[in-house]
Amino acid sequence: MAIARDIHELLYRHDCVVVPGFGGFLTHYRPARVDEARGLVLPPAKDISFNKDLVRNDGLLADRVARRANTDFDGANALIEADVVSWRRTLAERGRMELPQVGVLFRDGAGNLRFEPDPHANHLRDAFGLRPIAARPVKREASPVIPMDTAPLREQDRRTNWMWAAAAASAIVFGASAWFLTMGRTGGPESAGIWSTEEVPTYTERSG
- 18-48 confidence digits (pLDDT tens): 999 999 999 999 888 787 777 887 778 889 9
Give just the sign of the alpha carbon dihedral 193, 194, 199, 200: positive
Q: How far is CA 117 from CA 7, 21, 61, 62, in A?
A: 13, 20, 19, 23
Residue 116 backbone phi and psi in degrees, to 5 = -125, 115
Highest mean pLDDT among 116-130, 131-145, 160-174: 116-130
Q: In what order do the strands lie in the sheet with 133-134?
A: 33-35, 40-42, 133-134
Predicted TM-score (pTM) above 0.85 = no
- 87-132 confidence digits (pLDDT tens): 999 999 999 999 999 999 999 988 899 999 998 888 887 776 677 7
The reported pLDDT for the residue numbered 60 is 97
Contact 123, 48 (CB under 8 A): yes
- Rounded Cα gap, residues 106 and 104, in angstroms: 6
